[in-house]
Amino acid sequence: MRRNTSILMLSVGHGCVDVYQGAVASLVPFFVAERAYSYAAVSGVVLAASVLSSVVQPVFGLLTDRWAMPWLLPVSTLLGGLGVAVSGVCEGYVPTLACVAASGLGVAAYHPESARVARLASRGSHSGMSWFSLGGNLGFALAPLLVSAVVSTGFGLRLSPLLVVPAVAGSVLCLPVLRSLRVPGGAGGGSRVPAGSDDRASFVRLSLAVVCRSVVFTGLSTFVSLYAGQRLGGGTAAGTAALFVLYLGGAVGSVLGGRLAGRWDRVAVARWSYLAAAVAVAGLVTVPGPVLYLFVALASIGLYVPFSLQVTLGQDYLPSRVGTASGVTLGLTVSVGGLASPLLGGLADATSLQAALLPLSLMPVLSWLLFRTLPEPRVPAHLAGAREPDPGEGAGQLPVPPRQPGA
């Protein structure tokens, strides 16, 4: 299998998993409409999807630093899909939380190992990782359309079991990629790549910046559909459109981030992107009328330009713990943002949704300040020779660097 084909299939598989992160927020208006959930209650649903990820994903990262676990890709994809699919037919609030939490567990298990495999497939290139991230962001973008197509019928949430289809497709799709890359598996199949010099202080500051980014994006993904419906008077349709624009802007930002990092260093690109995002979020909350959609797109692009760059930065700050770095930057720090959702929901119940969203414009500024303290790390030696994939190139089968025993 050609190298670019492997990256493409990994990207599509990533989208089949991340559609379930977007699906949780996309189901929020339907939970409100059919089950009369309050803002605080739907915030709890979003929290349930992220809280297990915040605890478990770094654990899976530690495990994948010690042993390759390629079987996690198909298994976790199925778990992520089943949790969301069953959540719409559960009886009661607690079973719904449990199903959504199970989906979050599947998503958490998927990302550290998939990021390790994508790093090998892309040979550490920023462009390759940005295409891998693009798949996830497209999954986010398609989630509101998928959920709306399935649930916006006369049957409502009762048709939610149909949402398992992308999970089945994604789990099947990743199998030939894993075989072609000869990714080792099992307890004796190998362990992590050669260690480098870790910069833990920079990694901690990077993680704090990702937390701030996560707070604002999770807040927007939870409430922008309801906010757009209120401000524009378009109801569920206006909200679904706003959520689609939010996620589609993330897809554009991911690819743009890889392109920009080819010309300037990753830290500088991320720093300026966060400043632009702060302005866009403020405009989203304060400027009335249909121009709201423009600010939603600009905020999403600004928040997602640094996304794949933060993953590779974390891996380069902790070259001896690539799985752990991926688990933190893709999991723990992202999921911590979900902890702020109930606070925003409670504030919205007490005041207004606009008043609750306004403080989010400050979070990208904090990320910008943290990035001002970060150095641009060196690319690890075993990936230093990587070059950007050429779409027309017929690359041969990709060799997998050996992984040394022990962690």
Phi, psi of 79 (to 5 degrees): -65, -45
253 Cβ neighbours under 8 A, 6+ residues apart: 137, 273, 300, 301, 302, 303, 304, 305, 307
What are the structural domain ranges in the chain? 3-377
Please say whether the beta carbons of 60 and 54 come within 8 A: no
List helix spans (H) across 233-340.
235-261, 266-286, 292-304, 307-317, 322-327, 333-336
SS3 label, residue 263: coil
Closest listed residue to residue 254, CA positions, set 11, 5, 6: 11
DSSP letter string over 332-395?
IHHHHGGGGHHHHHHHHHHS-HHHHHGGGGGHHHHHHHHHTT---PPPPGGGTT--PPPTT---
Closest listed residue to residue 164, CA positions, set 236, 93, 83: 83
Which stretches of the chain drop beneath a pLDDT of 50? 184-195, 382, 384-407
283 Cβ neighbours under 8 A, 6+ residues apart: 291, 295, 298, 299
Name the token pair of 242: 């706003």
User: Rounded to an integer, what distance in angstroms lies between the CA atom of residue 255 and that of residue 272?
Assistant: 16
Please say whether the beta carbons of 25 and 247 come within 8 A: no
User: Rounded to an integer, what distance in angstroms lies between the CA atom of residue 62 and that of residue 138?
Assistant: 28
Query: What CATH architecture applies to the domain 3-377?
Result: Up-down Bundle (1.20)
Give me the pLDDT at residue 365, please.
Answer: 92
User: Rounded to an integer, what distance in angstroms lies between the CA atom of residue 359 and that of residue 347?
Assistant: 11
